[in-house]
Structure formats: structure tokens, C-alpha cells
Amino acid sequence: MRAAALLLATALCGPLAQAADQGARPLVIAHRGASGYLPEHTLAGYELAAKMGADYIEPDLQMTSDGVLVAMHDDTLPRTTNVADLFVARNGGYKVADFSLAEIRTLTVRPTTTGATTHPGFTPRFAELRVPTFDEVIAFAKAQSALAGRTIGIYPEAKQADPAMEDKILATLQREKYASAADKVFVQSFSDATVKSLDAKQRLLGLKLPLILLGHAITLPDGSAMLAAPGGRMLSLKDVATYAHGVGVAIANAKYPLTKHWVDQAHAVGLAVHGWTFAKADPATAAAEYEGFLTMGLDGVFSNYSDLAVTARNAFVATPK
Ligand code: G3P
Ligand code: CA
């Protein structure tokens, strides 16, 4: 399938060509860092993921009241930080957008589900569990790349469908010399409007960043593969391929399971397919899950346990097909 997609892409230009090119080896994307082990979206969590061999670290992005991009999944602070111990609520809550960077810098990030504050045998370079800015994540990725002797990619997600956030992400990436897939970067969003807008804006800036539209993989009764967008709208993969380089799809949708047929249809229009979220902690159970989805043809996996993902990916690649 990958060979077919590559042939198709060779005959095309723009997004499709870039997307299919990335299918040589399934990518391991550290979902919110090594978030199964350490607090999500911390430099320590990203560092552990990089040391475990992840290809990309994934910062979800929110914007502070003074317009700084920070790595955080939620648009509110209490689930992952001690904000309620330090500040009274604002506007009835603790939205990231209501707090300045200086205030957010005072917070400590806490483990949520399976994470802990330390990991056996690992001493982080950045031991303080703070909320990093996007700039700090990029600086970390570059420094870690130099240390590791390989490029640690970045896979930022615009968590708000906000043109100002789009502009800041693109300006930051351009300033930091991320211009195309060769720089090991993806930009993702659940909003098709945002991905379309990013596509248009980056063309004006001369960038060719691979864009990933997130959603749910739906197979209609007639066998057509669609991507469910916000509001339940069904997007045709052919249309998505005109502005996105790939799709990021849920692997655990009970009603609409991801299938090889769906992945094949995405590949047929030149879209790379990355799956989220691989969250099994038990090595044997996780290995079986990775093997099943990689056999379907996934081009990348978002994993909470980078070590398990890398082991499974390497075993998959080493197995004769
Ligand atoms: O971005 C892919 C995956 O991370 C989507 O899930 O909610 O963890 O951002 P979420
Ligand atoms: Ca994400």
C-alpha cells in the first residue's frame, strides 16, 4: 500500500506528495510527552519520551492572557496544575486564557492518571514540573536533538480554533526554521476550518508544513471512508487531501472501529494516517494493540508509553512482510 501511495504521490505535487512520502517507517509520537509515566506536557516528560526513542514530541497548545503559547491540553488549569491552591477563580473558573504567563509560570504540573512525579532510573535535565511555553518546547527539542544525535520532531496542536493562535504557531515555526516535513514537524487541529486556514496562510509565508486534521474514522454503509469533524459533519477524504497532508484518527471508537479498509482509502488519496491514543501500559497487551493497528497500515501512533511504542514499531518494521 505504501508503495502505491508513493507512486501516486510522485505524480502529484503539494500536500499529497509530502504526505505519502512519510510512510516509510511508522512514527512514534509521544502523546503529551511520556504522559503514561510523568506529568503531561512537562519538559521532563518530553525528555523521557525522547530518551525512550520517540520520533516526535506532541505539545498541545493554549494561549495565555498575554498572548503566549503554552503547552497544555485543557483550556483550563485545574486538572493538571495546582492553580486552585495558589489563585482564586477568575470569571468563574481557571481558564488558561485568563492567566498571564508570569502567573502560569508559578504553577506546578501534577500527575493525572497513571503518571508519577519521577521515573525509575531517569534524572531529568529539567526537574521542575512547570508549564513550558511553545518556545521552550522547541528549544528543548533542538537541544535534545543535539544531545541524542538525531532530530526529535515536534507535533504541535492548535487547541483553539483561533486565527491568532494560527498566526502565532506559524510565526514561531518560521522563526525557528521549521518549514517542511524534512524539518520533522507536523501541525495538527481538530478543526477543519483551522487546518484550511493554516494551509492558506502557510502558502503565503512560503512554508510547506505538513498539516494533520484530527477526527473520527467513519465508514458509511456504502463503504465510503469519511472523517467526522466537529459537529458531526462528515468530510470526504478526497476533500481533506486538498488542504491536509494527513489525518489523525481515534483508534478506540466503539461505534466506528478503525479498519484497514478505511486506512487504505485514506492512503489512496495520499493522506498519511496517524492513530490516537495508544494508552495501554501492560507490555503484552500494548504490543498486540500496536501490531494490529500497524498491520492495518498506520503511518504513526500517538502513545502515552513511548518505550512500548518504539519496541512495537521496531518489531513491526523488522518483521518480513
Ligand atoms: O492530537 C492527537 C490526540 O492527542 C488527540 O487527543 O485530546 O489528547 O489532544 P488529545
Ligand atoms: Ca493532542
Q: Are strands 246-250 and 211-219 parallel, antiparallel or unpaired?
A: parallel
Q: Directed axis angle between helix 2-10 and helix 260-268, to 10°?
A: 20
- CA dist 157 to 72, 74, 185, 189, 266, Å? 10, 12, 11, 6, 21
Q: Is the pTM of this model over 0.85?
A: yes
| CATH number, domain containing residue 247 | 3.20.20.190
What are residue 79's phi and psi, to 5 degrees? -60, -40
Q: What mean pLDDT is predicted for residues 261-282?
A: 98
Instruction: List the grid coordinates of 283.
Output: 507490555
What pLDDT band is residue 14 in, cutting at 50, 70 and 90? very low
CA–CA distance, 123 with 141 (Å, rounded to integer) = 17
Q: 57-114, pLDDT tens digit by residue? A: 999 999 999 999 999 999 999 999 999 999 999 999 999 999 999 999 999 999 998 8
With contact defined as beta carbons under 8 Å apart, do 268 and 3 qualify? Answer: no
Other CB atoms within 10 Å distance of the CB of residue 253: 13
Output the pLDDT for position 321. 80
Name the residue of 277, 278, 301, 304 to mutate for ligand 1: max ligand atoms within 8 A of Cβ. Answer: 277
Could you tell which of 60, 227, 253, 278 is best to mutate to test the pocket of ligand 1, judged by most ligand atoms within 8 Å of the CB?
A: 60
Using a pLDDT cut of 70, give the percent of the chain over it: 93
Q: Where are the beta strands (DSSP E) in 38-109?
A: 56-58, 60-63, 69-71
User: Do the Cβ atoms of 299 and 42 come closer than 8 Å?
Assistant: no
pLDDT at 256: 86
Ligand 1 in reach of 250 Cβ (< 6 A): no
Domain that residue 273 falls in = 2-318
Query: Does the Cβ of 188 fall within 6 Å of ligand 1?
Result: yes
- Predicted confidence (pLDDT) per residue in 174-231, tens digit: 999 999 999 999 999 999 999 999 999 999 999 999 999 999 999 999 999 999 988 8
pLDDT at residue number 227: 98
Would the CB of 172 count as within 6 Å of ligand 1?
no
What are the catalytic residues? 31, 73
pLDDT number for residue 253:
84
Name the domain count of the chain: 1
